[in-house]
Amino acid sequence: MAHDLRKLVRLCNGRAAQPSATVIDARTMQSAPESGARAGYDGYKRKKGAKTHIAVDTLGNLRAVLVTPAHEQERAQVAEICASVQKATGQGVQVAFADQGYTGEEPRRDAAKHGIELTVVKLPEARKGFVLLPRRGVVERSFAWMGRFRRLARDFERLAQHLAGYHWLSAIMLALHLLLPKSA
């Protein structure tokens, strides 16, 4: 059902039904006592919780979700995320954009095994203040949209599958909202 909604959203926006590009990123969600032993510690963010890895198309529609403990590296999840994206799109994705957390030869090889070219979008050398990176704003916007759902404000779930399920549920609700007729 979610796949059909994504196709409808893409067609309504004048795009092809299946995307040829995806954007990958991860965020660390603060854990609650219910998270228990599956929560890890992300030293970079200084949070204990779960790390949610997502892949979205260029419109922000969710393509893949993976939940790991927060201490898991982003680059180690590339193979599983790419496999999920290709399964959802019928092997149609050719390029994936990611941030500097996905640098290295191993993530590039993992993506290439699934027929995806991994492109790391880097920060400009001389930057001052906030810089919006090309292609990366789409996935950040998707995280913000999903973060408005109360169950996704923190990791309240005992099982990682439930947390991933709430991401899918929020994505379906957002897609339905995009398909509703606009009132004048």
Residue 39: name the closest of 27, 29, 26, 54 by CA. 29
> Which pLDDT does position 128 carry in this prediction?
63
Is residue 17 domain-resident?
yes
To the nearest 10°, report the CA torsion of 82, 85, 86, 90. Answer: 180
> Which pLDDT does position 114 carry in this prediction?
95
Q: pLDDT for 104-125, tens place per residue?
A: 999 999 999 999 999 998 776 6
Number of domains forming the structure of the chain:
1
Q: Residue 102's domain spans which residues? A: 2-123+131-174
pTM of the predicted structure, to 2 decimals: 0.85
154 phi/psi in degrees, rounded to 5: -140, 170
Is residue 48 domain-resident?
yes
Is residue 180 domain-resident?
no
Q: pLDDT for 142-153, tens place per residue?
A: 888 888 888 888
Q: How high does pLDDT run on average in the chain? A: 84
Q: pLDDT for 26-80, tens place per residue?
A: 998 887 777 677 777 777 778 788 889 999 998 888 999 999 988 888 899 999 9
Is residue 184 domain-resident?
no
Is residue 181 domain-resident?
no
> Which pLDDT does position 56 carry in this prediction?
93
Residue 127 has pLDDT above 90, yes or no: no
Q: pLDDT for 9-20, tens place per residue?
A: 888 888 888 888
Give the percent of the chain with pLDDT over 90: 29
| Both structure tokens of 15 | 């795009």
> Which pLDDT does position 106 carry in this prediction?
95
d(CA 178, CA 182): 9
CATH number at residue 98: 3.30.420.10
Summarize the confidence of residues 151-178 as an average pLDDT: 86
Is residue 73 domain-resident?
yes
> Which pLDDT does position 124 carry in this prediction?
67
> Which pLDDT does position 105 carry in this prediction?
94
Is residue 53 domain-resident?
yes
Please name the amino acid found at residue 44.
Y
Is residue 55 domain-resident?
yes
Give the percent of the chain with pLDDT over 70: 90
